[in-house]
Amino acid sequence: MDHLDKPDKYLAKGWNQHIWPPFTQIASSLPQQRVVGSRDALLFREQGPPIIDAISSWWVTLHGHANEYVANAIADQAKKLEQVIFADFSHPQAERLAERLSHITGLQRLFFSDNGSTAVEVAIKIACQFWQNRKEPRHQLIAFEGAYHGDTFGAMAVGERNLFNAPFEKMLFPVSRLPWPATWWNDEDIENRENETITQLARLLETPTAAVILEPLVQGAGGMSMVREEFLKKVETVVKDSKALLIADEVMTGFGRCGDLFATKRAQVSPDLMTLSKGLTSGFLPMGVTMAREDIFETFVGNDPRLTFWHGHSFTANPLGCAAANASLDLLENAPSAYTRFESRHLPHLKKLAQHRKVTKPRLTGTIAAFNIEVSGKSGYLNVVGKSLKQFALEHGVLIRPLGNVVYLLPPLCITDDQLEKCYSIIEDGLEFC
Ligand X SMILES: *Cc1c(COP(=O)(O)O)cnc(C)c1O
Q: Please check if 314 is assigned to a binding site.
A: yes
Q: Is residue 250 within 8 Å of residue 264, measured between CB atoms?
A: yes
Which of 133, 253 has the CB closer to ligand X? Answer: 253
401 annotated as a binding-site residue: yes
CB of 111 to ligand X, least distance (A): 15
Rounded Cα gap, residues 126 and 115, in angstroms: 16
CA angle, 41 then 42 then 48, to 5°: 160
Distance between CA 431 and CA 434 in Å, rounded?
A: 5
Gap between the Cα atoms of 433 and 52, Å rounded: 20
- How far apart (Å, rounded) are the C-alpha atoms in residues 297 and 94? 18
Q: Considering beta carbons, is residue 220 or 321 the nearer one to ligand X?
A: 220
CB of 158 to ligand X, least distance (A): 10
Q: Which is nearer to ligand X, 130 or 148 (CB)?
A: 148
The response to whether 76 counts as a known ligand-binding position is no
Give 218's strand partners: 226
Inter-axis angle of helices 342-353 and 417-430, to 10 degrees? 20
* CB nearer to ligand X: pick between 149 and 361: 149
Annotated ligand binding at 381? The verdict is no
Minimum separation from the CB atom of position 77 to ligand X (A): 21
Closest residue to bound ligand X by CB: 116
DSSP per-residue codes, 378-425: --STT-THHHHHHHHHHHTTEE---BTTEEEE---TT--HHHHHHHHH
CA dihedral 106→280→151→199, nearest 10 degrees, is: 30
Residue 263 or 350 having the CB closest to ligand X: 263
249 is in an annotated binding site: yes
For ligand X, the closer CB: 264 or 277: 277
- 313 belongs to an annotated ligand binding site: yes
Q: What are 272's strand-pairing partners?
A: none
Q: Can you say how many angstroms the Cα of residue 12 is from the centroid of all Cα atoms in its chain? A: 35
E strand or H helix at 46, and its extent?
none
Minimum distance of ligand X from residue 148's CB (angstroms): 6
312 is annotated as contributing to ligand binding: yes
Q: Which residues make up the interface to ligand X (CB under 6 A)?
A: 115-117, 120, 148-150, 215, 220-221, 249, 251-252, 277
Q: How far is the CB of 426 from ligand X (least distance, A)?
A: 25
- Closer CB to ligand X, residue 65 or residue 149? 149
Torsion of CA 323, 329, 330, 334, to 10 degrees: 170
The answer on whether 148 is annotated among ligand-binding residues is: yes
Q: How far is the CB of 135 from ligand X (least distance, A)?
A: 31
- Whether residue 41 contacts residue 64, with contact meaning beta carbons closer than 8 Å, is answered with yes
- Rounded least distance, CB 168 to ligand X, Å: 16
Minimum CB–partner distance for residue 195 and ligand X (Å): 25
**Short-list 371, 369, 398, CA closest to 385:** 371
Nearer to ligand X, 116 or 366 (CB): 116
**Binding site feature residues for substrate:** 58, 148, 278, 312, 401
**Binding site feature residues:** 58, 116-117, 148, 249, 278, 312-314, 401
**Binding site feature residues for pyridoxal 5'-phosphate:** 116-117, 249, 313-314
